Every structure is written in C-alpha cells, then in structure tokens.
Amino acid sequence: MLQNEFKEMFFPLKDKLFRFAIQFVKREDEAADIVQDTFLKLWVKRKSIKDIRNPETFAMTMVKNASIDKLRKLKTLRIDEIYKDPEYNHTPLDSLTQSETYAQVIEAMKLLSEQQQMLLKLRDIEGYEYNEISEITGFSINNIRVNISRARNSIKERLLKQEQNELVRDRTTA
Amino acid sequence: MNWLEIERLLDRFWKGETSLAEEEQLKNAFSRNDAPAHLSSFKIYFAYNVDQKNIKHPQKDFEQKLLEKLNSKKIGFLSTPKLLAYAAGLLLLMSSLFFLLDNNDASKYKPLTAKEIRVAQKYLVLIANNMEQSAAFTSQKLEKLNMLNKGAQTIQQYETTYNKQIKNLNRIEQIDYSFNQLKYLKAFSNNKIKL
C-alpha cells in the first residue's frame, strides 16, 4: 500500500478514532497518543491491510484494544497522581460534559454501564451498523441490539422523569 | 414534517429496531424547532449526539507530523524482506550447527517436504512480525525519550527498551529452538518408521 492510499484510507478517521479513544481514557493527551500509535501500527501492517475486509472497523478495534491497555497502565498509577495532573480535567469532552444544556443526557448516560455507553456511542454518534459494532467490540449482534435497546430506554425514561420533575417544580414555584 | 410518522419511528428507535437511515431521519426531525411539546424532551438527546460528533482531534498538524514519522527511517528500517532475510540467515546458521554437532549420519535426513517448508515459512513470518512490531514500538519510545531530554529518565528508559529487546530476542531464540526440536523429532519419527 502506497503512502497516498494509506493517507486516503485512514487519515479521515482521525477524529473518529480520537473520540473513541477519549471515551476510554478520558484524557486528551493519552487519546492523541493512542491514535498516533494506531496509525503507526497500521502503517507497519500496511501490506496485509488489503486483505482486511473493513479497514475502518479494524482501526477502531485497534484503538479499543490500545485504550484498554492504556487504562490498565494508568490504573497502576496512584489515583491521586492522575488527578493532580493539570491536564486531566481539560478534555474536549468537558465542554459538553460540563454543559448545562446536556446535563440531563449526561446524567442519564452515567446510569448506563461502560459497555452500554460504548455501544450507544458507536451507534448513535458514529453511526455504525450492528455488524460493524460487532466487529469492533467482539460482542454478538443480538447482544448489541439488546444492550442498545436497554440503554436507549433507560435514557428515555430518565428524560421523561426529568421533564415531569421540572413540570412539578414549575407548578410549585408558580 | 409528519410528526406522527416521526413518533412511530421514535418508538422503534427506543426498541433498537430502526435502521441507520431511519435514525438519520429522526436526527433531522429533531434538529428542527417545531417538535410537538410531548416529544420535545427527546430533542436534547439527538442534539447531544450531533455535538459529540463534532469533537475533533486536537492537533492541527497531526497529519503533517504523522507523515514525517511515516517517512522517517525509524519506522521502515527493519522492513519485512530484510527481517525475513535475517531470520532465514539465522535459521540456516542454527540448522547448520545442529547438523554439524549431531553425531548421527546426515544421510538419514530427508530433504524438507513442501509441508515442512510451509511450516518453516510460517515461523519465519511469525518471527518477522514480532521483530517488526518490537522495532516500531522501540522507535516510538526512543522518540519520546528525545523529547523529554531528561538524562536520568532517558537512561532508565533505555534500559527498559534494552530489556524488552533482549526478551524479544530470547523469544525468537525460543521459537528457533522449538522449531529445531520439532525438526529433530520429525527426523527421529521418520527413522523410527523406517526401522
């Protein structure tokens, strides 16, 4: 595979890979490192990439595995060392996670398991088909469908509940 | 906008029964400002997903820097053909030593069959892959060390890299040793069959 082909195939994925990595490691610098390492590994494997059916899901799988490895390494650090890191609390997600606009969704998301959050983001944000999510995560399509359905229903219930609470609050203040 | 249709789609969406195209329809519908009141609380979920998708990689010059890395010799200095050549040479040397040191009559060994050659090739590819991965890993680590420019840490990390390389070399030696053992066992079993 020539460099131009490699560039055309993988460079447009950089934002998607970054978003996926940051979901796991929650740190901008770590996520950027993971994406760079993934690109370098892909370049090393470039000769065998043509045999891979879906290079995009292959790259996403590599990011997932690298992120899990990185998390394991980070967990070996003392937790206070991580929180002392001034960059820890400055991820691009913060503008969204701290945003009041999305507070209800963030709260609803927090009630989901890590697995459900990952599946929901792959489907509802990145727009992957169920079979592609299966390739990335290694879960069965049925398992993915069930978990996404449960996760969406949980969010729906939470949003409805919050709406009802707001209505009650408005009535009592009025 | 046919909100009855959207509501029907939304019911299927919560159940995980919608296709990507239908989900796109929902996103488009909820990006409008005329959603009925009883559906308005769901608008925020679709807006959140759209905003999340706008998160970009923070390094503006990421592609340029990556291209520089890809073009650097560190990535390609141990290419697969070179590695295969080194591995083949190493294997040949060890095989020669094995035969020289062996007291048995060399004539009892048959030339390698096609299957044995395939097995040997498989091992060579495995060795090559391992060495290439470790080379890429090492080059990345070395680059980071240069950037940090901290003498003491540099020495410590060089030691780590060195130990990893030794481990990899040991692993390759173990593979070679196992391969030779297999060959020996194969030859031995052939002899046994003859007897």
Mean pLDDT for chain B overall: 82
Mean pLDDT for chain A overall: 85
Residue B16 has pLDDT above 70, yes or no: yes
Rounded CA gap, A44 and B132, in Å? 8
Instruction: Give which of B55, B80, B143 to mutate to test A binding, by max A Cβ within 10 Å.
Output: B55
d(CA A146, nearest CA chain B) in Å: 8
Contacts of A146 in chain B (CB under 8 A): 16
pLDDT confidence band for A83 (50 / 70 / 90): very low
Give the residue carrying structure tokens 């892959």: B129
Domain with CATH 1.10.10.10 in chain A: 99-174
Q: Who contacts B186 (Cβ-Cβ below 8 Å, separation ≥6)?
A: B116
pLDDT confidence band for A88 (50 / 70 / 90): very low
Q: Does B21 touch chain A (CB under 8 A)?
A: no
Closest chain A residue to the Cα of B132, Cα to Cα: A44
Rounded CA gap, A17 and A62, in Å? 9
CB atoms under 10 Å from CB of A4, counted, come to 8
pLDDT, one tens digit per residue, over B94-110 is 887 777 766 555 555 66
Q: Does B38 touch chain A (CB under 8 A)?
A: no
Mean pLDDT of B118-140: 84
Cβ contact A36–B55 (<8 Å): no
pLDDT at A82: 46
Mean pLDDT of A53-72: 92
pLDDT confidence band for A95 (50 / 70 / 90): low
Cβ contact B49–A148 (<8 Å): no
Question: Is B58 or B103 the better-scoring residue by pLDDT?
Answer: B58
The closest of A115, A98, A85 to A23, measured between CA atoms, is: A115
Mean pLDDT of B138-162: 78
Domain with CATH 1.10.1740 in chain A: 1-92
Distance of CA B17 to the CA centre of its chain: 35
Q: Measure CA of the first residue to CA of the last residue in chain B; give whole Å.
A: 87
Least-confidence region, from A35-49, B62-76, B129-143: B62-76
Residue B74 has pLDDT above 70, yes or no: no
Rounded CA gap, A151 and A154, in Å? 5
pLDDT, one tens digit per residue, over A122-131 is 999 999 999 9
pLDDT at B180: 86
Rounded CA gap, B61 and B70, in Å? 14
Rounded CA gap, B160 and B166, in Å? 10
Residue A89 has pLDDT above 50, yes or no: no
Rounded CA gap, B22 and A173, in Å? 40
The closest of A26, A21, A28 to A59, measured between CA atoms, is: A21
Residue A169 has pLDDT above 90, yes or no: no
pLDDT confidence band for B162 (50 / 70 / 90): confident
Contacts of B24 in chain A (CB under 8 A): 127
Mean pLDDT of B170-192: 84
Q: What percent of chain B has pLDDT over 90?
A: 22
Question: Is A81 or A38 the better-scoring residue by pLDDT?
Answer: A38
Q: Who contacts B164 (Cβ-Cβ below 8 Å, separation ≥6)?
A: B134, B137, B138
Structure tokens of B43? Answer: 């608008």
pLDDT at A61: 95
Asked whether the beta carbons of B108 and B114 are under 8 A apart, the reply is: no
Mean pLDDT of B60-67: 88
Rounded CA gap, A96 and B140, in Å? 32
Domain A99-174 has CATH 1.10.10.10: yes
Residue B73 has pLDDT above 60, yes or no: no
Cα distances from A25 to residues A22, A33, A66, in angstroms, run 5, 11, 10
- For the structural domain made of A1-92, what CATH number should be given? 1.10.1740
Least-confidence region, from A102-111, A117-126, B51-60, B125-134: B125-134
Q: Who contacts A26 (Cβ-Cβ below 8 Å, separation ≥6)?
A: A88, A91, A93
Q: Count CA atoms within 13 Å of residue B184 on its CB side.
A: 16
pLDDT, one tens digit per residue, over B34-57 is 888 888 889 999 999 999 999 999
Residue type, B138: T
Which member of B16, B49, B140 has the closest CB to residue A125? B49
Structure tokens of A126? Answer: 């990145």
pLDDT at A80: 47
Mean pLDDT of B127-131: 85
Provide the greatest CA pair distance for chain B.
Answer: 92
Rounded CA gap, A46 and A2, in Å? 8
Instruction: Give which of B23, B44, B131 to mutate to test A binding, by max A Cβ within 10 Å.
Output: B44
